[in-house]
Amino acid sequence: MDSPIVLVLFGSFLGLLTIGAPITMALGVASLATVFYLDENPLKFVPMAFSSVGSFPLMALPAFILAGALMEAAGLSRRLIAVAESLAGPFTGGIAASTIIACLFFGAISGSGPATTAAVGMLMIPAMIKRNYSPGYASSLTAAAGGLGIVIPPSIPMVIFGISALGMIPPPEAVEKFGTFQSVSISKLFIAGFVPAFIMASCLLVMNYLLCRKHGYKGTTEKMDFGNVAATVKNGFWALMAPIVILGGIYSGYFTPTEAAIVAIFYTLFVGAFIYRELDRKAVSAALETTTWLSGRVLLILFTATLFGRILVENQIPAVIADGMLSLTESPYLIWIMIIGFLLFVGMFMETLAAILILVPVMLPVAYSVGIDPIHFGVVMICSLSIGFQTPPLGENLFIASGISNVSIEEISLRAIPFAVVNIIAVVIIAFVPEISLWLPRMLGY
pLDDT in the model for residue 220: 65
Name the pLDDT band for 141 (thresholds 50, 70, 90).
very high
In 314-386, beta strands by DSSP E: none
pLDDT in the model for residue 48: 62
Q: What is the spatial distance between Cα 346 and Cα 384, in angstroms, rounded to a whole number?
A: 10
Please, what's the b/e burial string for 153-163 (b: 16 or more CB within 10 A of its CB; e: otherwise)? bbbbbbbbbbb
Q: What is the pLDDT of residues 230-268, one digit of tens each?
A: 998 899 899 888 878 877 887 777 877 778 878 888 998
Q: What is the spatial distance between Cα 155 and Cα 386, in angstroms, rounded to a whole number?
A: 11
Furthest CA-CA distance within the chain:
74
Q: What is the mean pLDDT of residues 396-417?
A: 87
Q: What is the spatial distance between Cα 274 and Cα 119, in angstroms, rounded to a whole number?
A: 22
Amino acid at residue number 241: M
pLDDT in the model for residue 312: 74
* Contact between residue 104 and residue 201 where contact means Cβ atoms under 8 Å apart: yes
* Nearest 10 degrees: Cα torsion 257, 258, 261, 267: -90
* Contact between residue 401 and residue 117 where contact means Cβ atoms under 8 Å apart: yes
2 pLDDT exceeds 60?
no
pLDDT in the model for residue 221: 65
- Greatest mean pLDDT among 83-97, 270-284, 301-315 lies in 270-284
* Contact between residue 136 and residue 214 where contact means Cβ atoms under 8 Å apart: no
Triad 212, 213, 219: Cα angle to 5°: 70
Q: What is the DSSP letter of 42?
A: G
Of 108, 189, 110, 103, nearest in space to 147 by CA = 103
Those residues with Cβ within 8 angstroms of residue 406's Cβ, 6 or more apart along the chain or in another chain = 135
* Nearest 10 degrees: Cα torsion 317, 319, 321, 325: 180
Name the pLDDT band for 21 (thresholds 50, 70, 90).
confident
SS3 343: helix
Q: What is the mean pLDDT of the chain?
A: 84
117 pLDDT exceeds 90?
no
194 pLDDT exceeds 80?
yes
* Contact between residue 99 and residue 370 where contact means Cβ atoms under 8 Å apart: no
Name the pLDDT band for 139 (thresholds 50, 70, 90).
very high
* Contact between residue 426 and residue 178 where contact means Cβ atoms under 8 Å apart: no
pTM equals 0.81
Q: What is the pLDDT of residues 344-360, one digit of tens each?
A: 988 887 778 888 888 88
Triad 309, 312, 313: Cα angle to 5°: 90
